[in-house]
Structure 1
């Protein structure tokens, strides 16, 4: 029997992995019990214990080294790169195979756990009337907090904390989680300002979870009124939530349950933006009607946010938006649009909570 050439082993293993992952993904209850609440909790605890004590982002260092090695490999093989397409293609597939394996073993299978709306027994869909009522409530909350924090309705909110203080305070919201969400308690802080924050800005990312070290990376270049909510969102990924809409929801709940008013303002102001965008999708001009009800200080914060992303807008972030959109779709999500879906979770959770 002829032996398989070693250069084919990892590419073939990639195909096997894809089949196994997609097959197991059809059994969310199995993933929930044995991966998310079993293996993942143990490996996440270990990684956050090890890497959380390191004062800088170890995961960013790993990525930086890998990027340098990739550039070096491309440069070394630039001559005849496409002529040797078979060898080079197998090399690329081998590295993808290794990445795919560790990604899913260390974190990625959380994409396939039981959806949060099923656990909470809530309906994600909502009527236009419910969205309008919720939007008005969020606007009232946002305006009240802006006025309280700024002293007048025309001054933008500026969070007076250092990055480390924000990371420390973020844990308090997870300690105050409602009973229905108690399983997402957070332990062993491992939250870092990303060393690659300029790159993240050009890519259009406010933060990310490093699945290999379980460090939550926050893009601290962003306007600081957004950082509390962003931090709580990335911590959601750390406690085993894969879905972006669910992480936005958990980020919103933990930030609003934080006793710190700056955290509450960050959450309410951000969900209000999503509500207005969703109203605009229903009918052009509808979101604008409610936008005009916001205090001028809130609008200044929104302008600050828009100006930041406009500053870093290049074809690079357009490419990564396309790439990440398809990555999410490949992992049981609805693409970039899934971020806004957390409004439905928030409305549904409030609907159930008001009945109880």
Structure 2
């Protein structure tokens, strides 16, 4: 009788935990299904969650996200074996239930800590910019002329990266973006420094230059990447930290932050980051002769940097690991409201063209207003 009474508070605590977990799971599902809840999370919940988690994680010099995932995988392997074969054996039914509870905790933590940013309205719903057709030849040509001018003029040989200077400049550029115009949370406080990847050689073999660690709001940079890719990668991952889940949008913000900079090496990194996407779309729009003329319009030094970057990844990237990672990430993105999967990266050009047209409209409006004064 006494033992039963003694166990009652413990059972109540366990029951409360399960109720809380179920409530959080329902909240996650509702947020993923109802757009206004996604917008509310991104605007009012995530900024505070990110501050709490990132302030905790910055106390550690290593990646808590990587450690957490590794520990979780090891735990899922060891726990069932240990629970089954220790002195007081648990039934397989109980073991499977407990593993399921852990998986649900993992799932809920991922989404509440960062993953619900996938549920926020898309770029064109968050900004005053209008969607334009990427394959409109006139619009694309207009963008291409401006882009190639910026790419060629910003070229600089980056022999050594100044990490602190790059980081401060990228922060400054994000500080300057108007949230109402760009649909991104402004930096209201200095963000934590990026974390180094735990196994950089392995990630290089998979073709990964950086990633967002959602469980503790840590953004990671692969220190092995070429110097010309460093600034744009840092800016890309920082946008994820600011709540941007869509890869095309993250590439867009990275491009804007870098190309707005007066630092040539940062500016060049921004222009270079979308070169492959620009050429990919150009090949679809123009004839072979026109495309060849576009290639001739790129500075030889820029081509050499692009070639060296290609050779770097060709040499260091393992095709099997890279292909496996691409397939897994494609499934992950499609499961999180990014219908195009890994093709989403290339959709950055649509955003850049729309941004260019919007800027011109704003400039024209400003001239009209000045003329009326």
Which category of TM-score, normalised to the shorter sequence, fits these structures?
0.7 to 0.9
Q: 1:46 aligns with which of 36, 49, 52?
A: 52
User: Which whole-Å CA distance do the structure 2 matches of 1:293 and 1:315 have between them?
Assistant: 35
Tell me the TM-score normalized by structure 2: 0.79
2:304 pairs with 1:300 = yes
2:223 pairs with 1:220 = yes
Give the 3 Å change call, closer, same or farther, for CA 20–52 of structure 1 in structure 2.
Answer: closer
Per-residue deviation, 1:252? 1.1
User: Which whole-Å CA distance do the structure 2 matches of 1:319 and 1:88 have between them?
Assistant: 30
Deviations 1:229-267 (A, max 9, x none): 111111111111111111111111111222322111111
Given that residues 139 and 272 in structure 1 are in contact (C-alpha distance below 8 angstroms), is that contact kept between their aligned partners in structure 2? no
User: Which whole-Å CA distance do the structure 1 matches of 2:284 and 2:327 have between them?
Assistant: 20
Q: Which residue of 1 aligns with 2:120?
A: 113
Given that residues 159 and 225 in structure 1 are in contact (C-alpha distance below 8 angstroms), is that contact kept between their aligned partners in structure 2? no
Q: Which residue of 2 aligns with 1:25?
A: 32
Query: Alignment RMSD, CA only?
Result: 3.2
Q: Which residue of 1 aligns with 2:272?
A: 269
Q: Which residue of 1 aligns with 2:323?
A: 318
User: Which whole-Å CA distance do the structure 2 matches of 1:343 and 1:221 have between them?
Assistant: 27
Per-residue deviation, 1:211? 0.8
Per-residue deviation, 1:94? 4.0
Given that residues 57 and 192 in structure 1 are in contact (C-alpha distance below 8 angstroms), is that contact kept between their aligned partners in structure 2? yes
2:348 pairs with 1:347 = no
User: Which whole-Å CA distance do the structure 1 matches of 2:164 and 2:71 have between them?
Assistant: 26
Given that residues 276 and 288 in structure 1 are in contact (C-alpha distance below 8 angstroms), is that contact kept between their aligned partners in structure 2? no
Give the 3 Å change call, closer, same or farther, for CA 18–53 of structure 1 in structure 2.
Answer: closer
Given that residues 43 and 185 in structure 2 are in contact (C-alpha distance below 8 angstroms), is that contact kept between their aligned partners in structure 1? no
Per-residue deviation, 1:349? 1.1
Question: 3-state SS of the aligned residue for 2:195?
Answer: strand
Q: Which residue of 2 aligns with 1:188?
A: 190
Q: Which residue of 2 aligns with 1:208?
A: 211
Give the 3 Å change call, closer, same or farther, for CA 137–98 of structure 1 in structure 2.
Answer: same
Question: 3-state SS of the aligned residue for 1:25?
Answer: helix
Q: 2:108 aligns with which of 88, 101, 104?
A: 101
Give the 3 Å change call, closer, same or farther, for CA 72–184 of structure 1 in structure 2.
Answer: same
Given that residues 111 and 331 in structure 1 are in contact (C-alpha distance below 8 angstroms), is that contact kept between their aligned partners in structure 2? yes
Deviations 1:196-240 (A, max 9, x none): 222222222221111111111011211111111111111111111
1:31-110 correspondence runs (5 A): 31-33=38-40, 35-69=41-75, 93-110=100-117
Given that residues 138 and 272 in structure 1 are in contact (C-alpha distance below 8 angstroms), is that contact kept between their aligned partners in structure 2? no
Give the 3 Å change call, closer, same or farther, for CA 94–278 of structure 1 in structure 2.
Answer: farther
Give the 3 Å change call, closer, same or farther, for CA 216–320 of structure 1 in structure 2.
Answer: same
Give the 3 Å change call, closer, same or farther, for CA 355–276 of structure 1 in structure 2.
Answer: same
Per-residue deviation, 1:291? 2.5
Per-residue deviation, 1:184? 2.2
User: Which whole-Å CA distance do the structure 2 matches of 1:293 and 1:88 have between them?
Assistant: 64
User: Which whole-Å CA distance do the structure 2 matches of 1:294 and 1:266 have between them?
Assistant: 15
Given that residues 145 and 265 in structure 1 are in contact (C-alpha distance below 8 angstroms), is that contact kept between their aligned partners in structure 2? yes
Given that residues 49 and 188 in structure 1 are in contact (C-alpha distance below 8 angstroms), is that contact kept between their aligned partners in structure 2? no
Q: Which residue of 2 aligns with 1:129?
A: 138
Structure with higher Rg: it is 2
Give the 3 Å change call, closer, same or farther, for CA 123–290 of structure 1 in structure 2.
Answer: same
Give the 3 Å change call, closer, same or farther, for CA 31–182 of structure 1 in structure 2.
Answer: closer
User: Which whole-Å CA distance do the structure 1 matches of 2:98 and 2:360 have between them?
Assistant: 56
5+ residue gaps, structure 1, are: 1-5, 150-156
Give the 3 Å change call, closer, same or farther, for CA 95–200 of structure 1 in structure 2.
Answer: farther
Given that residues 112 and 332 in structure 1 are in contact (C-alpha distance below 8 angstroms), is that contact kept between their aligned partners in structure 2? yes
Give the 3 Å change call, closer, same or farther, for CA 308–63 of structure 1 in structure 2.
Answer: farther
